[in-house]
A = this chain, B = another copy of it.
Amino acid sequence: MRWTRFSHQDTIHYGIVQGDAVAVVDGTPFGANSRTGQVLPLASVKLLPPVIPGNFYAVGYNYAAHVGEANEFMPSTQKLPTRPEVGYRSNNALVGDGDNVVIPASSDGVIQFEGELVAVIGKTAKHVREEDALDYVLGFTIGNDISERVWQAADRTLWRSKNADTFKPMGPWIETDVKLDDLVTTVRLNGAQVSQFKTNSMIFGVARFIAEITKYMTMHPGDVLWMGAEAPTLDMRAGDHVEVEISGIGVLRNPIVRE
């Protein structure tokens, strides 16, 4: 099942994608919900980020080659992580499928993509065992963890480099029927394939992260966990467009513009 969040005639709804149509739903996938009976053409609605999370978790280095790439191109001496650790991103940066990624006027004008699997939490989780952890996931969507590397190298935290407005495209929807080991992530820049990897060839997987996080934090319905990206990442400038496809989930496509 594919849960979409969209706006139509100035109102925000959840819906269930069925081919080229959306069955409109009252409520949300995180609580009581029912189909209204209304069905809209998918092309007639504006897709939104499929959830605005209460807590926005993001895994840093979680694929081996990306660690080496960071050390080569950044003033960085990252080692392969030896245990699962997360950071945070901020909701102000979220945009949906099709929305512009806007490079701020104060940037030198170059940004990079990181195509990521996103787990969306469906049930309240604390002290969850790894073998049970996927039961707490509603489904999966796609994120593009846009980065401004000049700022990333200069700043004490990732605040500007990762969280400027529009730097976190997420969508197009939440797919609930996913076999993690079957997924392949493909990134295309201006239509040309520039990165492809087995999505689940992570250093630490989704279940391991949920088990580790919930030793300390309660994960809530609607929380999102961005799972990190594999190398390579490449420069993007105004006029480019970037697509992140994860097989079985969908395609997240965003144009790049300048403020």
Contacts and interface: CB of A to CB of B under 8 A. Distances in A.
A173 to B, nearest CB: 22
Nearest to A52: B54
A91 B216 contact: no
B157 A215 contact: no
Given A85-B156, A157-B85, A163 B92 contact: no
Interface string A40-54: 000000000000101
Q: For chain A, what secondary structure do more than half of its interface residues adopt (helix, strand, loop), or is it mixed?
A: loop
A153 to B, nearest CB: 13
Contact of A60 (B56, B89, B157): B157
A90 interface: yes
Contacts of A215: 104, 106
A60 B164 CA distance: 19
A92 B218 contact: yes
Interface in A27-62: 52, 54-57, 60
B88 A88 contact: yes
A227 to B, nearest CB: 15
A159 B219 CA distance: 13
A150 interface: no
Contacts of A257: none
Interface of A: 52, 54-57, 60, 81, 85-93, 104, 106, 126, 155-157, 159-160, 163-165, 215-220, 223
